[in-house]
Amino acid sequence: MTTEMWVIAAVRIGGSLPVLRWPFWGAVIAILVDLSDLFLMNLLHLGGVNNYQSFDKWLDQVYMAAFLIVAFRWEAVPRTVAAALYAYRLTGFAAFEATHERALLIAFPNLFEAWYLLVAGIKEFHIDVQKQRPLVIAAAAALVTLKFFQEYALHVGKWLDGFTAVEAVQSIWRHLTGPF
């Protein structure tokens, strides 16, 4: 591993830990830190990152394991669903590692992450699922839709493969501020 990969791994692992103390907000931090490696790869020049997709998926296992530790503290039904969705994504991760076929990841989307955010959000904001059923269903649908879109964009469409994260932010900024 290059020095750059060690730095990124340390950031990603450290960013996974807050979830153990703050289940919802720590998850938000972990997910944002998960995205940070795209910027770190563009800003650091310490030997590069070899086989980024595999490297990223291995580091994802750290935050997902932290999410699972928290989920094991939940009531029976949400805990069981979390464990099943974690096992499903883990199966997809193993299939990806065996084949290096990114399109497999759309067949095994990280719905565990969406489920975790939904349940942790319900707990964090003290939502009464029975009284707020439409809100919970809408949130669940939005999370699943966003996750499928993300998996497609990253692994099937490969929309971000052609440019760096910094270039993407600069392009968005120019688009938003162009008229001004």
Q: For 57-89, what is each residue's pLDDT tens digit?
A: 999 999 999 999 999 999 999 999 999 999 999
Question: Side-chain half-sphere of 90: how many Cα atoms within 13 Å?
Answer: 12
State what percent of residues in the chain have pLDDT above 90. Answer: 61
**Amino acid present at 170:** Q
Give the residue carrying structure tokens 């669903």.
81
146: left (phi over 0), alpha (psi -120 to 50) or beta: alpha
| pLDDT value at 40 more than 90 | no
In angstroms, the CA 135 to CA 54 distance is 36
Residue that has been written with the tokens 């750059």 in this structure = 4
The count of C-alpha atoms lying within 13 angstroms of the C-alpha of 102, restricted to the half-sphere facing its C-beta, is 17
Q: Return the amino acid letter for 2.
A: T
pLDDT of 172 over the 80 cut = no
Residue among 66, 110, 103 at smallest CA distance from 87: 110
Distance CA 25, CA 8 (A): 21
Cα angle 41, 171, 146 (rounded to 5 degrees) comes to: 75
Q: Give the per-residue pLDDT at 9.
A: 95
Residues whose CB falls within 8 Å of the CB of residue 138, separated by 6 or more in sequence, listed in order: none
pLDDT for position 35: 85
pTM of the model: 0.85
Chain-centre distance for alpha carbon 102 = 15
In Å, how far from its chain's centre is CA 21?
18
**What mean pLDDT, rounded, does the chain reach?**
90
